[in-house]
Amino acid sequence: MTLDKLSLNKNAKIISVDGEKSLRLRLLDMGLTPKTSVKITKIAPMGDPIELLIRGYSLTIRLDDAQKITVEPEEN
């Protein structure tokens, strides 16, 4: 499943980050690396962007970028 399909307040582990080279590197630089836990904490009223909790900080990304991140849901 991709990150944009994850439900609000559900934990997941990042499996892979795809996309063109510059986008992929930007996402990796922001801490969205494989084996990292992530949780969607807020969704904008129109559904885009989404706010993530990752590595103890909040990060906001667009849904287009979230579609490039493959995650595996974790049990809470």
In tens, the pLDDT along 45-60 reads: 998 999 999 999 999 9
Domains of the chain, by residue range, sit at 3-73
Strands 11-17 and 57-61: unpaired
The domain 3-73 is classified under which CATH number: 3.40.50.2300, 2.30.30.90, 3.30.70.60, 1.10.1240.10?
Answer: 2.30.30.90
In this prediction, residue 75 carries a pLDDT of 78
Peptide bond into 49 cis (omega under 30): yes
Q: Is the pLDDT of residue 76 over 70?
A: no
pTM recorded for the entire structure: 0.87
Q: What is the pLDDT of residues 4-40, one digit of tens each?
A: 999 999 999 999 999 899 999 999 999 999 999 999 9
**Would you state the pLDDT for residue 44?**
93
The answer to whether residues 33 and 57 touch, using CB atoms and an 8 Å cutoff, is: no
**Would you call 8 exposed, middle or buried from its count of C-beta atoms within 10 A (0-12, 13-18, 19+)?**
exposed
